[in-house]
């Protein structure tokens, strides 16, 4: 069955990879991103979701699109050590990660309820398990995981499932810009991944796609770690 999915943070990385996977299966995809790209396989709206007016526009887009599922992928990293974190930075990171998620899901809820079918996937992060200089980002992603569990309980009898995917280090342009090949940052991240490699955006997209499918109808309120084993500890080798 052809369905319509909305993806935030859709112009690159995991969001763009997911859009291409869904489009290849004849689903419609609507993207929200700060910057546009010609490679997105559907309508892509340029919105800065840190802005309240943009979130109001997001709600209008969702309400007018008969959405079957929402993927909350947008996020903001403002790395800083404890002692140097401005309250305004924490507020900004929380606002970008959480406000659009709440707005989009609430706007999509009437249509999903009416058909008795819907999917929400929130993109969390391995950082929620503990990460240096990620106080704001990890807090925002932990809150998104909490959204996942609460919403799943509220919607359990409606045919709408709510789950989260927690990526480990993933080969995106942004990751490579901050951690070039051969850098200390690359080595640090690799040392925490038992598989000894980084994830690929399409591998994360595959996990998200499954949770959006009919085959995942009995899975709700869960967080799936897609991280090469990083969430379970280091290997003995």
Give the strand pairing for 44-46 and 69-72: unpaired
- Report the distance separating Cα 195 and Cα 47, nearest Å: 37
* Cα distances (Å, whole numbers) of residue 113 to 66, 139, 149, 155, 184: 11, 30, 18, 9, 49
Residues recognised as catalytic: 137
Q: Which residues of 80-105 are buried (b: 16+ CB within 10 A; e: fewer)?
A: beeeebeeebbebbbbbbbbbbebbb
Q: Is 14 exposed, middle or buried (0-12, 13-18, 19+ CB in 10 A)?
A: buried
Instruction: Name the nearest CA neighbour of 99 among 149, 58, 44, 154.
Output: 58
């Amino acid at each position: 069955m052809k369905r319509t999915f909305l993806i935030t943070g859709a112009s690159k990385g995991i969001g763009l990879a997911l859009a291409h996977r869904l489009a290849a299966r004849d689903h419609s995809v609507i993207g929200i991103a700060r910057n546009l790209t010609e490679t997105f396989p559907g309508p892509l709206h340029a919105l800065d979701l840190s802005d309240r007016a943009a979130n109001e526009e997001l709600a209008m887009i969702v309400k007018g699109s008969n959405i079957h599922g929402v993927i909350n992928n947008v996020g903001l990293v403002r790395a800083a050590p404890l002692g140097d974190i401005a309250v305004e930075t924490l507020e900004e990171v929380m606002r970008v990660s959480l406000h659009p998620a709440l707005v989009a899901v609430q706007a999509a809820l009437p249509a999903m309820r009416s058909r008795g079918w819907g999917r929400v996937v929130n993109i969390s992060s391995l950082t929620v398990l503990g990460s240096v200089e990620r106080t704001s980002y990890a807090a925002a992603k932990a809150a998104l995981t909490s959204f996942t569990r609460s919403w799943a309980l509220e919607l359990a009898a409606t045919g709408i499932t709510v789950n989260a995917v927690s990526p480990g280090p993933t080969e995106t342009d942004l990751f490579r810009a901050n951690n070039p090949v051969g850098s200390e940052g690359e080595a640090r991240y690799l040392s925490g991944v038992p598989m000894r490699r980084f994830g690929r955006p399409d591998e994360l997209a595959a996990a998200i796609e499954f949770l959006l499918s009919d085959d995942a109808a009995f899975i709700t309120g869960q967080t799936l770690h897609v991280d090469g084993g990083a969430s379970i500890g280091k290997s003995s080798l």
